[in-house]
Structure 1
C-alpha cells in the first residue's frame, strides 16, 4: 500500500532509520558499504523489511520535498529517533507542494517521480508503457516509455500544428492530409515536416532526430538543414551536433517491443533499460560500465540485464525494495 501523504500517525523508530538508509542510498554518495549495510539492516526482521519498503515508497512519493518538510520540523532523518513527531496533513501537503514547486521543475534524482513539466503534459507514459495518439488532422504520435508531450493548436483551433517533446521518445507520422508543416520541438531544436515519418528522442541533455521516410527540415540556433530518409541528427546544449547514417532497425526496435544493442557500453545499456522499468539500476563500478554489450532484450524482460552482468561480466547484483538494483 502506498503511504498516505496526509497520514497523522507517528513515524516509528524503524521507519525513521529506514528513511535515513534510503536517503543515503540515493544521495549520489553511496558506497558498496552503504548498500551492504542497507541490505543487512532490512534483513534483520520482517519489521525492518516492512519499514524499509515503507521508506522507499514514501521517498518515491515525496522525494526531497518530503525531506525538506521534515527538516523544517526539526527532524534529522539520519540521526537517532527523537520523541514522537506528529506531522499534520496541512504541514505535509502544504510544505511538500511548496518544496516541490522549486524542485521538480528540474529532472528529479534517479527519475523516481515525474517532473512538474511532465505532469503538465497533454499525454504521458509511465515506465514500460507505450501509447498511440491520433490527431484529427491525420497525423499520429507513438509514445515510447517515460515520454511526455504537449500539443498546441493552430490559429483556427482545428488542427495540431506543434508538438513539444518534453521528455522521452516519440515516432511521428504526419500523414498525407496536412496543408502546412507539423512542427516538433525537442530541446533547442525544431523539426518541421509534411508527408514524413521520423523518430525524435529527448532526455533533457541530449536530443536525436531520425528521418524514417520522406524529408524533414531541422532548425536550431538560426541554422537550418534537411534530413532525408535514413539520416540522423544528434545534438545537445550548445554543441553544433552532427548528421550521420541511421540504423533504422535499432532506432525503431522499441515499436516491436525490443531493445537492440551492438557493441554498446554497459553504462549506456543500463541507462536505456532504466527507462523501461520502475526504480533504478545503479552502476557502482566505472570499469564495469565500459564493458561492451551485444544483446537483444524484450521490453517486458529488461531485468535480464542483471543475469547478463552476472554471468558474462562477473558483476555482483544487490537488489533492494522499490526496484533499486546495484551492480558492482
Structure 2
C-alpha cells in the first residue's frame, strides 16, 4: 500500500501553487521546472485543485498588470511575451501573492485558466504529462495495457492511484479529447478524471471530450460508469452522456461514426449547423475562423473533411455557401 502524502495546510498549499504560477509565467521556466510541477500536482487532488485555482486567479489579476505595464513600452513587450514585469509599475511577485491571498476565496472549483480564443495552451495544459499541438494526434501506452489516443489540442496527466486503488490506472483529461482502450484485463480499472466527473471502466473502449465547459463521454465498446458530484450513470456501447460543472445529463443513444471519425483522420458532419462546423474545424488549424453572420451559421452542413487537408475547408464553404472570406495575419479568417 502506497504511503499517504503528508497533510499540508490549505494556506501553505495555496502559496505553493501561486509560486508555481509565477515560475511558469516568468519567461524563464525550464523543462525541469515543468517536470517538477508535474510531480507536485500528482501528490494529491488538493494540490491539483490549488494549482488550478491559482491559474484562475492569475487570469483575473493579469488585466490589471497589463494596464500598469502599458505605461512602459519595454514592459509592455515583456508582458506580451508572457513575462511579468520586474519594474515598480508591474504586477510583481509580492503584489500577486498579496492579492492572491486576499482574493483566493473567489477562486473556487476545479477550473483552469482558459487563454482567450484558445490561441495558446493554458498553464495546466503546459504542465501535462502528454500533450498534442494543433492538428496533432498521439498514442500513449500506459501501464497494464491501457492505450490512450489523444486528439488535437489535448493534454492528460497520469495520476497516482488513491488509497485502496492498487488495481487501478488514473488519468486526468486536462483538455481536449481522448480515446481510451482498456480491453485486456477485466480485473483492473481505468479512471479518467475530467472536470468534476470521473469515467470508470475495466474492460471497455470509450471517448472522452472536454472543452472547458462540458464533458462528453461516449461508450464505444463494453460498459462504463460515469460519476459526477454524488450521482452516477451507466453506459453501454453506442451510448453517450454529457455533464457540466453542475449537472449530469441523460444517457442517449448515438451513432459512433461521427464520434470516432477523428481516429480515421476525418471530420464528419451530418446536417450540423455551419456554426458548429466552424467551431470544430477551429480545433484542427492554427489561428481561428470567425463566422460573422449568425443567419449563415444556422445553415445545415452535410460533409466530410480530411484533417490533413483542413485548409481546404474554407474554399469549400466559399464555393457551397458563397461566403465572403477575409484573411488576416496569424491564421485569422473572417466569414460573412
| TM-align CA RMSD | 3.2
Q: Select the residue among 318, 323, 330 that pairs with 1:322.
A: 330
TM (norm. structure 1) is: 0.71
Residue 208 (structure 2) pairs with residue 200 (structure 1): yes
Q: Select the residue among 106, 111, 129 that pairs with 2:113.
A: 106
CA distance in structure 2 between the partners assigned to 1:318 and 1:276 by the alignment: 19
- What corresponds to 2:124 in structure 1? 117
CA distance in structure 1 between the partners assigned to 2:118 and 2:308 by the alignment: 19
- What corresponds to 1:134 in structure 2? 141
Structure 1 residue 74, shift from structure 2 partner? 4.4
CA distance in structure 1 between the partners assigned to 2:168 and 2:126 by the alignment: 20
Taking a change above 3 Å as real, the CA distance of residues 117 and 99 of structure 1, as seen in their structure-2 partners, is: farther
TM (norm. structure 2) is: 0.69
Matches for 1:41-80 after TM superposition, within 5 Å: 71-75=67-71
Structure 1 residue 303, shift from structure 2 partner? 2.5
Residue 306 (structure 2) pairs with residue 298 (structure 1): yes
Q: Select the residue among 247, 251, 257 that pairs with 1:243.
A: 251
CA distance in structure 1 between the partners assigned to 2:255 and 2:155 by the alignment: 24
Does the aligned pair in 2 maintain the 1:154–1:161 contact within 8 Å? Answer: yes
- What corresponds to 1:252 in structure 2? 260
Q: 4+ residue runs of structure 1 moved beyond 3 angstroms?
A: 63-71, 73-76, 85-92, 96-105, 155-160
CA deviation profile, 1:285-310 (whole Å, cap 9, x unmatched)? 11111111000000012232212321
CA distance in structure 1 between the partners assigned to 2:167 and 2:135 by the alignment: 29
3-state DSSP class of the match of 1:117? Answer: helix
Larger C-alpha radius of gyration, 1 or 2? 1
CA deviation profile, 1:236-256 (whole Å, cap 9, x unmatched)? 232331211121111111011
Taking a change above 3 Å as real, the CA distance of residues 180 and 296 of structure 1, as seen in their structure-2 partners, is: same
- What corresponds to 1:33 in structure 2? none
Matches for 1:16-55 after TM superposition, within 5 Å: none
CA distance in structure 2 between the partners assigned to 1:290 and 1:234 by the alignment: 23
CA deviation profile, 1:128-180 (whole Å, cap 9, x unmatched)? 00000001211110000000111112369987621111111000011313633
- What corresponds to 2:231 in structure 1? 223
Q: What runs of 5+ residues in structure 2 fail to find an aligned partner? A: 1-26, 29-58, 101-106
Does the aligned pair in 1 maintain the 2:271–2:301 contact within 8 Å? Answer: yes
